Amino acid sequence: MLQDTGKKVMVFGTFDIVHFGHIHLFEKAKEYADELVIIVARDKNVEKIKGVAPLHSEEERKTFLSYIKLVDAVYLGSEEDPYAIIQQIKPDVIALGYDQRVFVDQLADAITDMGLEIQIVRIPEFVTDRFKTSKIKEYLHTLM
């Protein structure tokens, strides 16, 4: 469980195949706060949004991320309300990936409705022709 020792930055994602693009996201997000909190998308939601189940289960993805030194805490998101975890953790900053679009359009309104003041930042892209999950999956399919 995360101790309340300083500013918190929150990052959301599936994190099915963790790569250097994710590490870049975590490093840049951590520049905004003392503690990095990762929210892992639930299997049910990943399948609904992406149309395919993740390769690794939500528990596997959560456990894997907990081994990364940059990460201070990892939680599973809500299956029903994608913004509920924000109310629970109350981060100071939410860092979005450069290409993150799901649930982003109503994020500021959801934060306001919760009565919270949270800075939303967008992390710039990293070498996207190599370090993007969809590109890695495409490459892996060519090997099969």
Among 8, 28, 30, 50, the one annotated catalytic: 50
Q: Classify residue 106 by burial, with Cβ atoms within 10 Å: 0-12, 13-18, 19+.
A: exposed
Annotation marks residue 7 as catalytic? no
Phi, psi values for residue 84, rounded to 5°: -60, -40
Query: Which three-class secondary structure state does DSSP give residue 88?
Result: helix
Annotation marks residue 44 as catalytic? no
Among 7, 44, 48, 137, the one annotated catalytic: 48
Provide the residue count of the chain.
Answer: 144
Q: Which are the catalytic amino acids?
A: 48, 50
